[in-house]
Amino acid sequence: MNITSRTHAAAADEINCLIREKLIPMRLYNALQGFPGATIIGTTSTRGKQPDYGWCPKRTPRQSGPAEPKMPSTVIEVMYTENHEKLNLDVRYWLSPNEENVKMCLTFRVDRENNEIRMESGIRQEAGNNNNNRTRIYRNQVIYARMTTKGRPIVSGDYPFWIPFDSLMLRPIDTGRAEKDLRFLKADLERFAESIWNAEWE
């Protein structure tokens, strides 16, 4: 049985709030189905796995053939007590082409010893016909939030942190509406870091 720590819960809750807030101007706030710690079973295996949080659109694009089980399109994994290799294995699991709809995995490594949070995003992309449709995993961004002795975060790296719209909603942006990629500015990342730190040490 997996026990969710306060750190994991705070990270999952805050990023969920930030994502849905970014969707409000697009009138898509209620367009996502959440997977808060749900056990997800892929279509090619019977082994289930739990992300710290995941999302997919409530209404998926039309597809031919029988309906497939709903899978998250984007997931997050938080590393607090786990080792780095475990987190890397989690990313490879979620972005495997065998896991169907999962297009993006966000990871958050909480380093208590160095008072730092490392935020990364991995994305699955199809390599194309010239490579026999092989799938590659790309690390999109690396952002750091280092906490000062006064508990204030100093953000550095490849911000704004962003989630491509099509990786979350599984469809292209509708140019006739206010839809766009989700971008998390420095203030968003500071708020996120403070929520994690406050949950653990206050």
pLDDT of residue 184: 94
CB atoms under 10 Å from CB of 58, counted, come to 12
Pairwise CA distance, residues 102 & 115, whole Å: 31
pLDDT of residue 180: 95
Contacts of 19 by beta carbon, 8 Å cutoff, 6+ apart = 32, 55, 163, 168, 182
- Yes or no: say if 102 and 94 are a contact pair by the CB < 8 Å rule: yes
The predicted-structure confidence for 131-143, as pLDDT tens digits, reads as follows: 555 667 777 789 9
pLDDT of residue 139: 76
Q: What is the pLDDT along the chain (202 residues), one digit of tens a residue?
A: 454 677 778 888 899 999 999 999 999 999 999 988 777 776 666 667 788 899 999 886 655 444 455 788 999 988 876 667 777 888 888 887 665 668 899 999 888 888 888 999 988 776 555 555 566 777 778 999 998 877 788 999 888 899 999 999 999 999 888 899 999 999 999 998 888 887 765 5
Handedness of CA 49, 53, 58, 64 (dihedral sign): negative
Q: Where are the domains of the chain?
A: 6-59+71-113+120-201
The CATH code of the domain at 6-59+71-113+120-201 is: 3.90.1570
